[in-house]
Amino acid sequence: MMSVTEGGGAAALAVVVDSIDKNLDGRRLALIESTPGAELKIHGGLGSEALDEPVRKLMQDALQDPRSHDGLRRIETDAGALELYLEVKRAVQELIVVGAGHIAQPMAHLGALLGFKVTVLDDRPDFATRERFPEAEQLVAADFSNPFADVLIHSRSHILLVTRGHKYDYECLIRALKMDPPPAYIGMIGSRRRVRATYVQLLEEGIGHNLIDRIHAPVGLDIGAETPEEIAVAVAAELVMLRRGGTGLPLKDVERVAERFFSEDTVKGQT
Amino acid sequence: MMSVTEGGGAAALAVVVDSIDKNLDGRRLALIESTPGAELKIHGGLGSEALDEPVRKLMQDALQDPRSHDGLRRIETDAGALELYLEVKRAVQELIVVGAGHIAQPMAHLGALLGFKVTVLDDRPDFATRERFPEAEQLVAADFSNPFADVLIHSRSHILLVTRGHKYDYECLIRALKMDPPPAYIGMIGSRRRVRATYVQLLEEGIGHNLIDRIHAPVGLDIGAETPEEIAVAVAAELVMLRRGGTGLPLKDVERVAERFFSEDTVKGQT
C-alpha cells in the first residue's frame, strides 16, 4: 500500500472482520490505482460478486471523499450484513512551485508541512538550491520555455506560478493550461492588472474562457496577505480548501454557534 | 526604535528630506508608544506647530494602518509643502498558545513564521519543551486555574486555547474574557457542540453576550482543516486576516478579473 502512494497512486483495502458466514472473516478486497489517473484494479475478493460489488463501491467512495477515514464500516449486501475494516491510502499530492524567489521559500515550506511532495523549478541554478529549499523533494533547473520537460504533471499536481517576471509566468501558464489530464490547481501570483494582461494575451493566443476560468489568480485566499510568509499562508489555505472543502469564511461566522444559541434561548424565554 | 517594538510598543519617525525652507532638511519628529496601549509621546519637532501637527497626523494614520509602508511622503501644510521620509516600527504581535499538544506545535511554528512573538503554556512540563517548540520565545509551566500569572497580556496579544480538555480551555477562556484591556484575539478550538457547551457555562457564570461574541470559535477559517497542520494553517490565515483585513474568500472570486473582463468584452462587441 505505501509503495503505491509514493508512486503517486492511491489504494483502498477492506478486510472482513465480522459476518454471518464465519468463513468470510479475514477475507480482503483491495482497489489499487498504481499511478495517477490509471484504472482502478481489483485484487482479492470476498467470494461472490454480490459481496464484492457493494464493498468496491464503498472503497471507491472512500477514495474520492477527502474527508473519509480509516475504520470500521458496516454494510448491508444482498448476501447479508458485513463488518469491514477499511484502510485508505490516498494519493500523495504534488506542489510544483515555478520560480524560486522570496515567496517560493515559505510556500515550499508550507507545502511540505501540509504533506505535499514539493518540486521547485527555476532557470537560475543559484536560486533553486538545497540550502534555500531543504524540504523540497525535487529541485529542477528548468528552461521556462519548456518548464515541465523534467517534471511529470498529473491530475494531483498543484502548480504555483511565482517566477520573477510576467513573461515567464505566462509561458509556464500556457503550458500548464494545455496539459491533459489537467492539473488539480494552477495558481498565478500577480496584481489584478497583471492578471488581466495575462488574460488578454491568452485570448489572443486562442485560449478559451473555460480554460482561463481554471486559473486561480490572483492566487490564495483574500486575507490581505502582504509579506512572503503571509502570501504563502493565503495560498496554503486555498490548497487545503481545495483538498477538503469549505468557504474560506471564519468558522465563527459559518457556524454562528452563539447566534443560533441565543436566538433559541430567546424563543424559549418567550414561551 | 527597535528597542521600542521589542518591548511591545510602536513608533513612527519622520525626517524632512525636502522643503522650501532648507533649514528644515534633516529635522525629525518621532511618535513613540513605549508599551502597548501607552499614550503616544512626541519627540523632536520641525520648528512650528503648523508643521508638526499635519506630520503627527500622518504618522498616527501610518501607525494605525497595517498596510502602510516606510517611504517618502509629500504633504501640504499651512507653512508650505514638505517631503518626508517616514519610517514605521509597528508593534510586535504576540501569540499565546495555551496547551502544548499536537496542534500547538505547527501553530507555534506558523505563528513565528508570521512574525508573532510566540509563548506556549502548559501545566505538563514534558510538553512545553524547547525541543518541541524551538521557535517559541517563551515556554511557561502554567497552572490552568491561573494560566496568565506569568504572561503579560495586552491589546496585541492573540490567545489560542488548545488545551487537552474542555475544562482547561474553559478556565483559561473566562480569564481571557475578563482581561482589561482585552486581547486582540481569543480563539478556542472545538466542535460546534463543545463550543455550545462552553457558551452555556459562560452564561451561567453571568458572562454577557457581548463578551461571548468576542470569542473566535470554532477557531480559524472554514477550509475543511483536519490534520494538526491544516488546522494551524486555518488559524494562521485567520490571524493574518485580523491583522490585514479581507474576506477569506478565494481572491479569484473576490477580484473576478476574468468575469469583469469578459463581460466588458461582450459589451464592446455589442456596440
pLDDT of the residue at A271: 32
Write the burial class of residue A46 (CB in 10 Å: 0-12 exposed, 13-18 middle, 19+ buried): buried
Q: Which of residues 168-197 of A touch B (CB under 8 A)?
A: 192, 195-196
The DSSP 8-state label assigned to residue A38 in this structure reads P
Residue B96, all three cell numbers: 499565546
pLDDT of the residue at B187: 97
Q: Average per-residue pLDDT in chain A? A: 89
Q: Please give the Cα distance from A215 to A189 (Å, whole number).
A: 10
- Cβ pair A170, A109 in contact under 8 A: no
H or E stretch including A209?
Answer: helix A209-212
pLDDT of the residue at A7: 63
pLDDT of the residue at A264: 54
pLDDT of the residue at A3: 59
pLDDT value at A107 more than 50? yes
B234 touches chain A (CB under 8 A): yes
pLDDT value at A226 more than 70? yes
B228 touches chain A (CB under 8 A): no
Strands A117-122 and A94-98: parallel
Mean pLDDT within A247-258: 89
Q: Please give the Cα distance from A27 to A203 (Å, whole number).
A: 56
Residue B233: which of A219, A237, A247 has the nearest Cβ? A237
Q: Which of residues 7-46 of B touch A (CB under 8 A)?
A: none
Mean pLDDT within B209-238: 95
Mean pLDDT within B113-141: 96
A244 touches chain B (CB under 8 A): yes
Biggest alpha carbon–alpha carbon distance for chain A: 73
B268 touches chain A (CB under 8 A): no
pLDDT of the residue at B90: 81
Band of residue B7 on the pLDDT scale cut at 50, 70, 90: low
Band of residue A255 on the pLDDT scale cut at 50, 70, 90: confident
pLDDT of the residue at B269: 39
Beta strands in chain A (DSSP E): 10-19, 28-33, 41-44, 71-77, 80-89, 94-98, 117-122, 138-141, 157-161, 185-188, 215-216
| Residue in this structure with the C-alpha cell 510544483, named with its chain if needed | A96
pLDDT of the residue at B165: 87
| Residue in this structure with the C-alpha cell 463488518, named with its chain if needed | A83
B231 touches chain A (CB under 8 A): no
Q: Which of residues 57-86 of A touch B (CB under 8 A)?
A: 66-67
Strand order across the B41-44 sheet:
B41-44, B28-33, B10-19, B80-89, B71-77
pLDDT of the residue at B138: 95
* A35-72: pLDDT as tens digits: 777 788 999 999 889 899 999 999 998 888 767 788 99
Query: Strand pairing partners for B250?
Result: A221
Residue A113: which of B106, B217, B220 has the nearest Cβ? B106
Band of residue B78 on the pLDDT scale cut at 50, 70, 90: confident
Q: Please give the Cα distance from B52 to B29 (Å, whole number).
A: 8
Reported ipTM exceeds the 0.85 cut? no
| Residue in this structure with the C-alpha cell 491510502, named with its chain if needed | A89
pLDDT of the residue at B215: 95
The residues, any chain, with a CB within 8 Å of residue B165's CB and separated by 6 or more, are: none
Residue B240: which of A192, A199, A223 has the nearest Cβ? A223
Pick the CATH number of B94-244 from 3.40.50.1370, 3.10.450.50, 3.30.70.520, 3.40.50.720: 3.40.50.720
Residue A166, all three cell numbers: 510576467
Question: How many residues are recorded in chain B?
Answer: 271
Residues of A in contact with B212 (CB under 8 A): 258
Q: Residue A240: which of B63, B243, B220, B18 has the closest Cα?
A: B220
- HSE, CB side, 13 Å, CA atoms: give it for residue A105: 11
Residue B107, min C-alpha distance to chain A (Å) = 11
pLDDT value at B27 more than 80? yes
Residues of B in contact with A216 (CB under 8 A): 250-252
Q: Cβ A249–B222 below 8 Å, yes or no?
A: yes
H or E stretch including A264?
Answer: helix A257-270
Residue B223: which of A222, A226, A237 has the nearest Cβ? A237
Alpha helices in chain B (DSSP H): 2-6, 49-64, 104-113, 166-177, 192-204, 209-212, 228-244, 251-255, 257-270
pLDDT of the residue at B106: 98
Q: Please give the Cα distance from B161 to B3 (Å, whole number).
A: 30
Q: How far is CA A66 from the centre of its chain?
A: 9
pLDDT value at A124 more than 60? yes
- Comparing B33 with A219, which gets the higher pLDDT? A219
Mean pLDDT within B36-40: 79
The domain ranges of chain B are 2-89, 94-244
Write the burial class of residue A200 (CB in 10 Å: 0-12 exposed, 13-18 middle, 19+ buried): exposed
Q: Please give the Cα distance from B266 to B271 (Å, whole number).
A: 9
Residue B251: which of A221, A243, A246 has the nearest Cβ? A221
